[in-house]
Amino acid sequence: MALQASPEYERRIGIWYYATTIEGVGGTIKSIPADFVVREVTNRTEGADGKYLIAELTKENWETHTVVHELSRRLRVSRNRIGFAGTKDKFALTTQKISLWDIAEAELDRVRITDVSLKVLGRSSKAVALGDLHGNEFIIVIRNLEGDKEAIRARLESITAELAARGGMPNFFGVQRFGTQRPITHTVGRYMIQGDVKGAVLAYLRDIFPEESEEIKEARQLCQTGEYKACLKRMPVFLRYERAMLNELVRGGEELQDDARFRAALAVLPRNLQKMFVHAYQAYLFNLIVSRRLERGLPFNEALVGDVVCYHDERGLPDPARVERVTETKVDAINRLIRHGRAFVTAPLIGSETAFAEGAEGELEREVLQAEAVRVSDFQLDNLPDLSSTGNRRPILVPVAVTLSELVEDERNPGRWSVRLDFFLPKGSYATVVLREYTKR
């Protein structure tokens, strides 16, 4: 059966196809935050001693960085004294561990934040950090399913079976990586990789997306014609990054050369956001490579001669630092490891030191770069050296075992159905990429 094409909003972030061929069930996700439950899984155990107080943070409808900022304000300590392993969805009910340096349990007990709870787990001599994250458990409700109950059930089960037969789902970067309402980060990153700082700044300021409000669209239109002062006046206050960049452009006036003005505008953004632009472009290229592999029918859970695989770490997770090119003499042995979950076919997160695969796999990787008119050497940013990237590898397939609940009548939409999906994903993989296979929208 032919591949189903993705909708336009996914194609613009490099996701061209669905991996499963069964018709989707439609429906709605995230009707309420509690429909999207995320529980962090770490490899940490806490004790009774240490300078770090370890707590379990449960939040609803809060973005991780925002709630950490609010917590630091309430405790009157630096934001840098609070550690966490990963950011979690805002419109969701999420649970994760945090560490607080040199904070007493009694101090934390006095903090009260709406829709946030904190449970002390113990103490440690080590802060909670990214390396602690194993993955996330998800409990997600799809609501508003229309049609015959048994027919919906059959489709859900067929999609689950097809994912199992494939060995999992393509490990696409989800839309959150690029901006849910305004997927612009990879576009800005492309300009930065090409050395076009002015293009990067203007793309961030003036590119318009249908999902934006009329007020924002009108402001961006003024920027398109170079009316930066007028654009600044119209730009909503909550778009603080746009306003900061526009302030810099306006302040530059005629005294600065164009290039210097735009470099100054880019420099007002936090460094981690600037790095995010480059990383998002790498994610976009990865999605394109995976899409082409799907298009050409190349396997995901089987290595071909010329592929690059990575091996598992002590926790059974893919370790991109341990890679090997597949040769004719090793292909059978490596595929046995893949079948046992001990090795994984990868694609590149393109960087200045990327070594392409060989064979048909390598050809499509090169084709993606040629179509984008970029080279691996472009990721060595001479004008922004600390934003340079040497690249990495990422598995093209992520195993996922989805458990389906019984369909029940949706209490929010009488006459329609809802279903719950339970599954685990390793860190760096996206629940929305699983859900898209079921909803096909």
- 73: phi then psi, degrees, rounded to nearest 5: -65, -45
Dihedral in degrees, nearest 10, Cα atoms 312, 314, 315, 321 = -40
Torsional class of 14: left (φ above 0), alpha (ψ -120 to 50), beta (otherwise): left
Query: Which amino acid is present at 209?
Result: F
Distance CA 351, CA 376 (A): 6
Alpha helices in 194-298 (DSSP H): 197-206, 214-224, 228-234, 240-252, 258-267, 271-295
CA 93 to chain centroid, in Å, comes to 18
Query: What is the rounded distance in angstroms from the CA atom of residue 89 to the CA atom of residue 388?
Result: 28
Largest CA distance in the chain: 70
Catalytic: 332?
no
The catalytically annotated residue of 35, 89, 307, 378 is 89
Distances (CA, A) of 379 to 196, 262, 376, 385: 13, 20, 6, 9
Distance CA 5, CA 16 (A): 6
Please give the structure tokens belonging to residue 47.
């004790």
Closest CA to 417 of 46, 114, 143, 95: 143
Which two structure tokens, joined as six digits, stand for 189? Answer: 């990153």
CA distance 156 to 4: 16
Backbone angles phi, psi at 59, to 5 degrees: -135, 150
Task: Let me know: does 309 contact 303? Beta carbons within 8 Å.
Answer: yes
Say if residue 158 is exposed, middle or buried (CB neighbours under 10 Å; 0-12, 13-18, 19+).
Answer: middle
Three-state SS for 317? coil
Record the tokens describing residue 360, joined without a space. 């048909």
Among 434, 431, 440, which Cα is nearest to 91's? 431
The residue with tokens 């997927």 is: 183
Neighbouring C-beta atoms of residue 408, cutoff 10 Å:
12
Measured at the alpha carbon of residue 71, what is the angle toward residues 69 and 75, in degrees to the nearest 5? 120
Catalytic sites, residue numbers: 89
